């Protein structure tokens, strides 16, 4: 594989990103994408991605509703032509979170994690990230 368009991979992944809570709440989600050449720790925005590079997806989750959100499930696609490099972790402290990998009957792969609680009124947004390696 020569090079991939990073915006195409981001589009695929962002279309598959979802957040659900145990009760009705108003949750705002923002996703960004960074690339690590040869899976180095130096992340950047890149125009070209080649085999061996890593793509790190950052998902910002914020409860802008009036009630605490409990059992907030965050899920995102693992794009085609990639393999999971790192599972979900909190960006603030690099804490690894329990992650589940699910394979759908159509071949799509989904990574999921659950946040115990998100405070109301946007008081504490959580930034999660996971990485995939282009194969």
Please spell the DSSP secondary structure of 45-72, one letter per residue: --S-B-TT-EEEEEEEEEE-SSS-EEEE
On whether the CB atoms of residues 82 and 133 are closer than 8 A, the answer is: yes
Q: Indicate which CATH number applies to the domain containing 58.
A: 2.60.40.1170
* Any domain includes 1: no
Q: State the residue range of the domain holding 99.
A: 6-134
Looking at the structure of the chain, the number of domains it has is 1
For 4-8, 44-48, 52-56, 83-87, which range has the lowest pLDDT when averaged over its residues?
A: 4-8
pLDDT, averaged across the chain:
84
pLDDT in tens, 2-36: 454 444 444 344 557 788 877 778 888 998 888 88
Mean pLDDT computed over 69-93: 93
Tell me, what's the pLDDT at 44? 72
126, part of any domain: yes
The predicted pLDDT at position 14 comes to 56
């Amino acid at each position: 594989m020569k090079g991939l368009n990073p915006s195409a991979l981001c589009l695929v992944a962002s279309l598959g990103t979802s957040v659900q809570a145990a009760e009705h709440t108003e949750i705002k989600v923002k996703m960004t994408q960074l690339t690590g050449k040869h899976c180095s720790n130096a992340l950047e925005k890149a125009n070209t991605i080649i085999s061996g590079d890593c793509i790190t997806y950052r998902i910002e989750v914020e409860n802008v509703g009036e009630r605490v959100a409990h059992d907030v499930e965050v899920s995102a696609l693992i794009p085609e032509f990639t393999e999971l490099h790192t599972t979900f972790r909190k960006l603030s402290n690099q804490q690894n979170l329990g992650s589940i990998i699910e394979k759908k009957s159509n071949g799509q792969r989904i990574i999921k994690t659950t946040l115990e609680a998100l405070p109301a009124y946007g008081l504490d947004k959580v930034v999660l990230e996971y990485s995939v390696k282009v194969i």
